[in-house]
């Protein structure tokens, strides 16, 4: 996990101690003022003086109590430059936004630029952009979640889109109590890959079912499959903005790159009228 530099670590604690010292000196001044002749025999005036001193006591004690632990933890940062870990995390987030929500929004814009834009397709593209954005936000909230947990969250968010398109989901996950599925960066990249494959199936396949399967295979490896029974890639129209440089479209290059990034094997099977299957095999040595 990248180191996170907290903003308060850059601040010098002198102002904290200075403010507390000022309260303490104000308290001493009030006591001296009262005892050196400003006191009055009037009972009400005496009660007010005591009230002021008690309040100052409480303020001073509270301030030192809150600030002293921060003063003890304070360390001057050796460099104001961003650490390599933070820079790498920023680049990853930017790339994920570009490959996910950004690509779907680009597709929506391409559809709007046609002579007679299909508003239903535009709406679907925007829905998938929002879906990808929510997946990224959840990834930031829980960076150490397992792949099973991430896929379960996707299933919950994807169900309304499936129902709207009349598609049925087949969900096959391990039933073991111990969740040993990939976590951290490997689980995150696999989740993004699955999200892209699901979005492609919903947006382009014109199928009636979507199968998502994650199963452990011998020697500690894992296999992830996302498959549909639709028209296949060759028969599915893709907006120009959604095509990759290889011309295959559907973000295949991005999915393959994610698999390679974590040492996994990527395969894609698609034929006209028989649907598409995205398969990723994560070897045991890539998980350890």
Least confident of 37-46, 130-139, 229-238: 37-46
Mean pLDDT of 89-97: 71
Q: What angle do CA 243, 223, 282 make, to 5 degrees?
A: 80
Residue given tokens 């440089």 in the structure block: 245
Mean pLDDT of 132-157: 81
Does the domain at 84-287 match CATH 3.30.565.10? Answer given as yes
Residue 71 has pLDDT above 80, yes or no: no
Closest CA to 231 of 247, 208, 213: 208
pLDDT tens, position by position, 153-190: 888 888 888 888 889 999 999 987 788 899 888 898 89
Neighbours of 77 (CB within 10 A): 10
Q: Which tokens is 216 given?
A: 């452990």
Query: Which run of H or of E encompasses 44?
Result: helix 43-73
Find residue 276's DSSP bridge partners. 228, 270
CA gap 53, 221 in Å, rounded: 70
Q: Domain map of the chain by residue range? A: 7-73, 84-287
Residue 89 in 3-state DSSP? helix
The residue count of the chain comes to 288
CA gap 287, 149 in Å, rounded: 17
CA gap 196, 60 in Å, rounded: 57
Model pLDDT, residue 245: 37
Residue given tokens 């009230």 in the structure block: 51
Cα pseudo-dihedral 278, 284, 286, 288, rounded to 10: 140
Please answer whether residues 224 and 194 qualify as being in contact, where contact means their C-beta atoms are separated by less than 8 angstroms.
yes
Model pLDDT, residue 244: 40
Q: What angle do CA 58, 61, 63 make, to 5 degrees?
A: 105
């Amino acid at each position: 996990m990248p180191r996170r530099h907290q903003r308060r670590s850059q601040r010098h604690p002198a102002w904290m101690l200075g403010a507390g010292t000022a309260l303490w000196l104000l308290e001493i001044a009030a006591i001296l003022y009262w005892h050196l002749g400003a006191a009055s025999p009037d009972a009400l005036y005496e009660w007010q003086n005591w009230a002021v001193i008690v309040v100052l006591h409480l303020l001073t004690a509270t301030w030192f109590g809150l600030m002293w632990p921060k003063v003890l933890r304070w360390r001057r940062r050796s460099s104001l430059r961003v650490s390599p870990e933070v820079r790498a995390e920023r680049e990853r987030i930017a790339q994920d936004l570009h490959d996910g929500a950004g690509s779907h929004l680009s597709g929506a814009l391409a559809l709007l630029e046609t002579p007679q834009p299909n508003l239903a397709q535009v709406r679907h593209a925007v829905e998938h952009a929002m879906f990808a954005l929510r997946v990224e936000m959840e990834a930031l909230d829980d960076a150490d979640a397992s792949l099973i947990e991430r896929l379960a969250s996707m299933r919950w968010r994807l169900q309304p889109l499936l129902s709207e398109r009349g598609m049925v989901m087949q969900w096959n996950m391990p039933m073991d109590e111990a969740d040993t599925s990939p976590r951290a960066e490997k689980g995150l990249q696999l989740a993004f890959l699955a999200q892209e494959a699901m979005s492609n199936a919903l947006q382009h396949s014109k199928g009636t079912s979507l199968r998502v399967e994650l199963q452990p295979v011998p020697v500690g490896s894992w296999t992830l499959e996302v498959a549909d029974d639709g028209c296949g890639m060759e028969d599915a129209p893709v907006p120009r903005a959604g095509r990759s440089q290889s011309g295959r479209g559907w973000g295949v290059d991005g999915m393959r790159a994610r698999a390679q990034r974590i040492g996994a094997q990527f395969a894609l099977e698609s034929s006209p009228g028989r649907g598409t299957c995205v398969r990723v095999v994560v070897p045991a040595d890539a998980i350890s």
